[in-house]
Every structure is written in structure tokens, then in C-alpha cells.
């Protein structure tokens, strides 16, 4: 089982990096959107 997980991570390293960057971007947008009403 652990070997299978390691194999999947090794094969999809670039995809996981892109997904992580996308998730960070979405969280940043969420935080900014939640703070916009307090700026006005």
C-alpha cells in the first residue's frame, strides 16, 4: 500500500505542484474577498 502511494507521488509530481499552486491561489482569493467589505 505504501509502495503504491509512493509510486503515485513519484509519477504525478508536476501535477501535484500545479494543484498545490492552484489551491494556494484559491485560498488567497478567498481571504481577499472576505476582507474587501471591511475596506469600504
18 touches 25 (CB < 8 A): no
Q: How far apart are CA 21 and CA 35, in angstroms?
A: 21
Mention every residue, 6+ apart, whose C-beta is less than 8 A from residue 27: none
The pTM for the full model equals 0.65
pLDDT for 32 equals 95
Residue pLDDT tens, the chain, 40 long: 999 988 888 888 889 889 999 999 999 999 999 999 887 6
- Reading the block at residue 37, the C-alpha cell is 467589505
Amino acid at each position: 500500500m505504501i509502495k503504491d502511494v509512493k509510486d503515485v507521488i513519484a509519477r504525478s509530481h508536476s501535477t501535484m505542484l500545479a494543484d498545490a499552486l492552484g489551491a494556494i491561489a484559491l485560498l488567497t482569493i478567498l481571504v481577499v474577498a472576505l476582507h474587501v467589505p471591511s475596506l469600504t
